[in-house]
């Protein structure tokens, strides 16, 4: 019985070591890369033959046996795209909002940007807003910081130009008294 338990433990250890060897040999990810494997996402702190240590952005450290790593998404290899959706109220002039957005994007300067920002146009029309979309190509793992910068710059420009953000509106309809009702209500 003890031999069987040792055999299963050794099998798991061998699987972890072989997988760790191939992670390092194939350069699937490196220390400092931001990866996701299973439910764990964070910055790789250590790659060993038996286990990999990942620190999440909120500070938790996950130690994952290499044999358990089946799929890896590496966010640090290629440039990323920041997608920024900008809602404006239906009552606002689309042309004015577009001009303001283009003006802000033409002045946008961020060291994480790898290409000029691009205004794509109307993304969606909702019940209370029209959503405009901007994309920015940026360095790996910097899309959140770039998006926050774009949002802040657009908010300031919209305030200066008097462009309102959408908010829920309620319309009430009063029926005239003494009028006959038809139908089920």
Between CA 72 and CA 27 the distance in angstroms is: 12
pLDDT at 9 over 80: no
Judged against a pLDDT cut of 50, whether residue 65 lies above it is answered with: yes
Task: Write out pLDDT tens, residues 78-124.
Answer: 999 999 999 999 889 999 999 999 999 999 999 999 999 999 999 99
More confident residue, 106 or 27: 106
How far lies 80's CA from each of 53, 139, 153, 179, in Å? Answer: 24, 6, 20, 61
| pLDDT on residue 106 | 95
| pLDDT at residue 127 tops 90 | no
Supply the pLDDT for residue 46: 93
Residues 148, 149, 150, 152, CA torsion sign: positive
Question: What pLDDT, on a 0 to 100 scale, did the predictor assign at position 117?
Answer: 95
How do the residues of the chain divide into helix, strand and coil, expressed in percent and rounded to 5? 30, 30, 40
Structure tokens at 62: 């996950």
pLDDT interval class at 5 (50, 70, 90): low
> Rounded distance, CA 179 to CA 93, Å?
39
Are the C-beta atoms of 27 and 35 separated by less than 8 Å?
no
């Amino acid at each position: 019985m003890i031999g069987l338990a040792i055999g299963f433990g050794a099998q798991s250890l061998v699987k972890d070591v072989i997988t760790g060897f191939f992670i390092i040999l194939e350069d699937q990810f490196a220390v400092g890369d931001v990866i996701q494997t299973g439910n764990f996402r964070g910055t790789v702190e250590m790659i060993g033959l038996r286990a990999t240590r990942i620190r999440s952005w909120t500070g938790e450290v996950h130690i994952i046996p290499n044999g358990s790593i089946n799929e890896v998404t590496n966010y640090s290899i290629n440039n990323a795209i920041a997608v920024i959706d900008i809602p404006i109220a239906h009552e606002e002039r689309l042309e004015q909002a577009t001009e303001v957005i283009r003006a802000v994007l033409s002045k946008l300067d961020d060291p994480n940007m790898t290409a000029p920002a691009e205004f794509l146009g109307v993304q969606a029309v909702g019940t209370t807003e029209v959503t405009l979309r901007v994309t920015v190509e940026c360095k790996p793992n910097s899309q959140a910081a770039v998006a926050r910068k774009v949002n802040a710059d657009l908010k300031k420009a919209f305030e200066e130009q008097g462009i309102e953000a959408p908010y829920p509106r309620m319309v009430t309809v009063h029926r005239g008294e003494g009028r006959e009702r038809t139908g089920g209500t």
